[in-house]
Amino acid sequence: MKKRDLVLIGLGIVLTIIAFFLDNIVIAFFKLVQFDFIDTLVFIFGNFVTVLLILFIIPIMNKKCKKSGLFFLSFLLSILVGLIMKLIIFRPRPSFVMLIPIFGLIDYSFPSVHTMVAFSLAITASRYLPRYKYYWYSYAIFIGFSRLYLGVHYLSDVIAGAFLGWLLVKLVLMLWPKY
């Protein structure tokens, strides 16, 4: 890894730790500011269906992109690592969120898998289509914002998700440089 990457790893860890101290303040803020228009935007653009569409559209848009395996690998690793971490850490979601058990399981909060997937795909998309990198990162930030706005994640969950999404792509590129 490059020195820059090591600095970013340290920064990701420090920001996640700092965010733990701000979690309740951020949750309280977003609990106060709810608007119908933003609710609609968050619902439409903040779900996995949109991410899946982007996952399949980007390789098609870029005919030169024969290495689209990185998209799928980033997507699958983000989900897998995120779910394993949730089952190890067991951090409950913010208290005012109504938890609905799926298949008898309660979903936990840390890290935000939505944010992990969004950032890993944004980094991957920026690698292949750098001209649109600001769009990809804006979308990933929006996904993180949506998790806070909906009150389903703490700030530290979102920051850790963004950091881990970046880290997973870096590790994949280190282990399989052909991508």
pLDDT at 96: 59
Cα gap 170→31, rounded to integer Å: 35
31, 151 Cβ separation under 8 angstroms: yes
More confidently predicted of 43 and 160: 160
pLDDT at 117 > cutoff 50: yes
Which residues fall within 8 angstroms of residue 65, CB to CB, at 6 or more apart?
58, 59, 128, 129
If we measure between CA atoms, which residue out of 129, 126, 131, 130 comes closest to residue 166?
126
Q: Please tell me what DSSP assigns to residue 105.
A: B
Structural domain boundaries of the chain?
3-175
Percent of the residues in the chain that have a pLDDT greater than 70, as a whole number? 79
pTM: 0.81
